[in-house]
Amino acid sequence: MKDRHPQTVRNLAVICGLATTVLSGQALAAGFQLIEQSVSGMGTAYAGGSALGEDATTVFFNPAGMTRLKGTQTSAGFHVVMPQAEFDNQGSSTANAGSGSVPLTGNGGDAGETGVVPNLYVSHQYSEELFFGLGVNVPFGLSTHYDNDWAGRYHAIKSEVETVNINPSFAYKVNDWLSLGAGVNAQYVDAKLTNAMDFGLIAEDEGLGFLGFSPTSADGRSKVQGDDWAYGYNLGLLLNLGEQTRLGAHYRSKLDYTVKGEVTFNNVPDDPFGALKAKFKDGNARSSVDLPWTLSVSLVHEFTPKWAVMADFSRTGWNDLDELRFEFDNGLPDGVTTLNWSNSNRYSVGATYKPTGQWTLRAGVAFDETPIPDKEYRTPRIPGEDRIWGALGVGYRYSDSLSFDFGYAHLWVDDPKIDKTTGSSPADEDYYRGNLKGEYDASVDIVSAQVNWIF
């Protein structure tokens, strides 16, 4: 196999270049953690993900699965994610300030934004025991966008979080029943968050009510944006429990970010004393954010050469995400959103059927828990709730070296509820954001395609 190594190096260079082209400028789909990293896996709702090892996407789900792949294999795919998140306002209002509370109207339209989640993988067999891989993907992403005048505009208007993860990895086949894998993750994040500001209420609390300022009378806008790199690792093992049964386990470490950027303000109103513009000046901003670890355990059993069933249990460590806090260097107090997220579980089962050597049919279901504890801690930036997946997929092998995968999934989302209540003091985190009360009608559709090439 050594005579193929120079060609393999050239192929890797081309693949990395294509990954950069695909990922640049992409808007990500709604959501935060994106499991949409494989089209072949999506057909079974990602059941058996860390035990399958059927194509190069195993670099993400369990690098130990590369020991099942011969030669050099690549997989490139994309997922078109189409979320729906329509808010029903149920009595939102501003804080009960000196001039009283003011009703906040407007449902905000459909906050979910259609986006594309791309991924690219390569696996190379160096010897009978040693394998190398590379993955470029988007493991976290968020995009929600509301009307500028909706009831929750002081909480959120537009939220975007974009990530790119570069994951070199290797696998070692210890013997016929045990394989081990490991990888390093270099992950980039870029975030932009905007919301309206109730400068009318702020000015009233600053003692400027005699100038005509009152709640909702002088809206402005704020934007916080920043980026950072973080580094982590992933570990996997694959056990052959017999000729027809495999057990896989995979762990991805958490990533610690210190996002640095800036805060900017627009439409800050004038006053005779210049108090508001002196206080709300553009400046630098920073936030420390921990993105979670994940642990997955999967089982695959092949009843016959045509029929196989699989299952997966995954746990995500969201409990480190207690709050979203921005620190500013312009004298403003920290911007805080309390989250109190909990660790969450995901359960999935699926099956594959191969009627011929060319076709593979897939189906799966999953239950995906939300980490959000209750409606008091749900933010309109991420209006998530428990989800049930229903997925279908098909694979077609055109030749010994070329194959295609297609998938579709619908996610039924338990209607998310929000009940944000302001305190009686400007020191309370939601005082200037308002009482946001309502319920979402939410769902997600995903359509995906993938091409696989064996060199």
Q: Digits of tens for pLDDT over the chain (455 positions)?
A: 344 444 443 444 333 433 333 333 333 333 389 999 999 999 999 999 999 999 999 999 999 999 999 999 999 999 999 999 999 999 999 998 888 899 999 998 899 889 899 999 999 999 999 999 999 999 999 899 999 999 999 999 999 999 999 999 999 999 999 999 999 999 999 999 999 999 999 999 989 988 999 999 999 999 999 999 999 999 999 999 988 999 999 999 999 999 999 999 999 999 999 999 999 999 999 999 999 999 999 999 999 999 999 999 999 999 989 999 999 999 999 999 999 999 999 999 999 999 998 999 999 999 999 999 999 999 999 999 999 999 999 999 999 999 999 999 999 999 999 999 998 888 899 999 999 999 999 999 999 999 999 98
Residue 229 tokens read as 């790199």
The CATH number corresponding to 2-454 among 3.40.190.10, 3.90.1300.10, 3.40.50.1360, 2.40.160.60 equals: 2.40.160.60
* Alpha-carbon torsion (51, 310, 119, 255), positive or negative: negative
Residue 388 tokens read as 């049930």
In angstroms, rounded to a whole number, what is the distance separating the alpha carbons of residues 124 and 58?
12
20 contacts: CB under 8 Å, gap ≥ 6? none
* Alpha-carbon torsion (149, 150, 154, 156), positive or negative: negative
Domain ranges of the chain: 2-454
Determine contact, residues 276/206, Cβ cutoff 8 Å: yes
**H or E, element range at 59:** helix 58-61
pTM: 0.90
2 contacts: CB under 8 Å, gap ≥ 6? none
